[in-house]
Amino acid sequence: MPKQMNSSFGHAQSKKTYHTKNRVEKNDTLIYALGGLGEVGKNMYCYEHENEICIVDCGVLFPGDDLLGVDYVIPDYHHLIRMNKKRKFLVITHGHEDHIGGIPFLLKQVNIDAIYAPRFAKALIQKKLSEHKGLERTKIIEINDESRIHTKYFTVGFFNTIHSIPDSLGVLITTPNGSIVHTGDFKFDLTPVGTNADYQKMAYIGVLKPDLLMSDSTNSGVEDFSISEKKVANEILDIMRKTKQRLIVATFASNVHRVSQILEAAIKCGRKVIVFGRSMENVVDIGRKMGTIKVKNSDFLSPDELAHIPDEKVCIICTGSQGEPLAALSRISNGTHRYIHIKPGDTIVFSSNPIPGNASSVNKVIDNLFRSGATVLTKSILNNLHTTGHASKEEQKLMLQLIKPRYFMPIHGEYKMLMQHRQTAMEVGVPKEKIFVCANGDILILRNHEVLQSDWRYQGDDIYVDGNDISGLSTAVLKDRRILADNGLVSVIIAIDSKTNKILMRPVIVSRGFVFIKDSQGLIKEAEFIVHNSLQEKMKEKTTFSEIKNCVRSTLEPYLYKKTHRNPIVIPVIINSRQTMEEIQQKRLAKQRVRKKEEV
């Protein structure tokens, strides 16, 4: 467990083994991430000076297949909870889940003075908090590129950036020790949909010589400039015009600009639109209220009207472009959707790229769609059906050249991406000793316009959330889930009479997900015999229920592993009742008689 710094920093100062230069001093500004480094998701970056903490973003990470039963992964807020006496305010760069999804969990544990969010993100946060009782009255202040936040130690300003969602902002944070530019998620698009990036303001910030740049690393390994969103819009419009049958388009609900372009293209081609998928419906609803999505009520279909409109006049927009099992497109592909069934001749457009790790799920959905007679179009060298919302290598170079930082810290990316971004920064002239590739919990010290890495660090662990349980799931619970998935469960039913300290009958072993009972009768009977002998020895002296359970586990687990090379979860069940056991014995004998009759 990494050591933590206390609020007075006296602990750190008492350690003589650390270099004086890298020791935290009273007037230092501390910079650290609780999420977003070494991963793509759960972004959360903190800037701490004296009794104030400026937090930028508070996201979630969606779990992979290895996290069984986990709904979200959030940062460990332990440090912020310990610092509850300090004033904290939260600044949001944009409204994607990996930047706002953790807000309800944070608010339930940490005192936040106010949330500052751009217009579209504010609407999404309000919708999210309305689903959590007691959080709907949280103070949310709308910001834009002209806004300023002034506190005792921080001045926070903003500049427009381009991303796949409206109202995306970069952040300039001025502290008593120097200035920091935090880009948020960004790309450069010379023909953007929506608000353009503020190149002039970025260049002006560069003239002011900021001390540290913290920049998005997601596409560090992608060469050249990314495709313009306008090109994708033109490609989709062309497909709409050429397609003479029903059209189904799957994309990310979070890509608001793309959703807007798809809707407008459908209407231009005389198609009525219908939206499926809860997240997609929410985004379209909020986008229309915000004026970002300009589609009239008369252009939408209800599910009941869908069957009465000619196929060539219909465009269905849905979630599921990543092959998520419960998303609309997955249910359409396997024939379980309530309103839509694939017809031969339907055209399905994937306006997305598979996220790493999702390729097999996406391919399975595509295969099912082809089997149903549909035509499936995906992004390839032959079309421009998707573009990213994150800066490629050349765009990252442009950001570095505009801001001209003295120090650089790549953020928002897996370790490989951070290292690739480091190399890009070195190519544009940032000295390698002034580039910091950090992990969650690592602390940078900003002191009199100089950036140093502290020898100390905060806790930067993951917290696993099941439903709305903000306490998170313990490691032990996840470990048990993995064992159950890989090795199954064995239950041992033991009947005793504690008054006479005797075993009433031979233990009964029941297995689920471990071995097939009918094919393993010899193994089960031998296991019951071994456990019975071990318990007889144990019951010769006074013992406790806990000791009996430990005796069963220590006897059975090595035996099962020796025979099968598997380690199932062993659960002893003790029944301390002669009458109950007699009833169980009678049922057991009755089953044996029925089995013998069937064999005859």
CA distance 121 to 143: 10
**Is 4 within a domain?**
no
**Is 13 within a domain?**
no
- Asked if 510 contacts 490 with a C-beta cutoff of 8 angstroms, the reply is yes
pLDDT computed for residue 473 by the predictor: 63
Q: Are residues 304 and 364 in the same domain?
A: yes
CA distance 226 to 291: 27
pLDDT computed for residue 357 by the predictor: 64
Nearest to 414 by CA among 159, 584, 237, 217: 217
Q: Are residues 363 and 430 in the same domain?
A: no
Q: Are residues 94 and 146 in the same domain?
A: yes
Structure tokens at 272: 């009525």
Farthest CA pair distance, the chain? 93
**Is 531 within a domain?**
yes
Number of domains in the chain: 3
Mean pLDDT per 10-residue segment, the chain (600 residues): 39 42 88 95 96 97 76 90 94 96 94 96 94 89 97 97 95 98 96 92 96 96 89 92 93 92 94 93 93 91 90 93 87 91 92 78 92 90 82 96 97 96 97 96 96 90 77 69 85 86 87 80 90 89 87 90 88 80 72 70
The CATH number of the domain holding residue 191 is: 3.60.15.10
Cα–Cα distances (Å) from 52 to 34, 80, 176, in that order, read: 16, 11, 12
H/E stretch holding 536: helix 521-538
Q: Is 194 annotated as ligand-binding?
A: no
pLDDT computed for residue 412 by the predictor: 96
**Is 199 within a domain?**
yes
Instruction: For residue 67, give the DSSP letter.
Output: S
**Is 121 within a domain?**
yes
The boundaries of the domain holding residue 57 are 28-224+388-465
Q: So which residues are the catalytic ones?
A: 216, 390
- Asked if 226 contacts 392 with a C-beta cutoff of 8 angstroms, the reply is yes
Per DSSP, the three-state class of 450 is strand
pLDDT computed for residue 470 by the predictor: 65
Final residue belonging to a domain, choices 410, 432, 465? 465
CA distance 161 to 152: 27
Q: Is 163 annotated as ligand-binding?
A: yes
Q: Is 79 annotated as ligand-binding?
A: no
Q: Are residues 370 and 412 in the same domain?
A: no
Instruction: For residue 568, give the DSSP letter.
Output: P
- Asked if 75 contacts 35 with a C-beta cutoff of 8 angstroms, the reply is yes
Q: Are residues 188 and 280 in the same domain?
A: no
Final residue belonging to a domain, choices 377, 409, 444? 377
Q: Are residues 513 and 406 in the same domain?
A: no
- Asked if 216 contacts 162 with a C-beta cutoff of 8 angstroms, the reply is no
**Is 11 within a domain?**
no
pLDDT computed for residue 472 by the predictor: 66
Q: Are residues 333 and 245 in the same domain?
A: yes
Q: Are residues 217 and 244 in the same domain?
A: no
CA distance 523 to 564: 10
Q: Are residues 498 and 583 in the same domain?
A: yes
Q: Are residues 55 and 145 in the same domain?
A: yes
- Asked if 481 contacts 67 with a C-beta cutoff of 8 angstroms, the reply is no
The CATH number of the domain holding residue 326 is: 3.40.50.10710
What is the torsion angle, in degrees rounded to the nearest 10, for the CA atoms of residue 386, residue 391, residue 392 and residue 397? 160
Q: Are residues 238 and 197 in the same domain?
A: no
**Is 431 within a domain?**
yes
pLDDT computed for residue 5 by the predictor: 39
The CATH number of the domain holding residue 557 is: 3.10.20.580
Q: Which residues are paired to 249 by β-bridges?
A: 317, 349
> In terms of C-beta density within 10 A (0-12 exposed, 13-18 middle, 19 or more buried), how is residue 139 classed?
exposed
DSSP string of 201-269? HHHHHHHT--SEEEEE-TTTT--SPPPPHHHHHHHHHHHHHH--S-EEEE--TT-HHHHHHHHHHHHHT
Q: Is 185 annotated as ligand-binding?
A: yes
- Give pTM, 2 decimals: 0.81
Final residue belonging to a domain, choices 327, 350, 377? 377
**Is 18 within a domain?**
no
Q: Are residues 307 and 434 in the same domain?
A: no
Q: Is 96 annotated as ligand-binding?
A: yes
pLDDT computed for residue 18 by the predictor: 39
Q: Is 255 annotated as ligand-binding?
A: yes
CA distance 272 to 295: 10
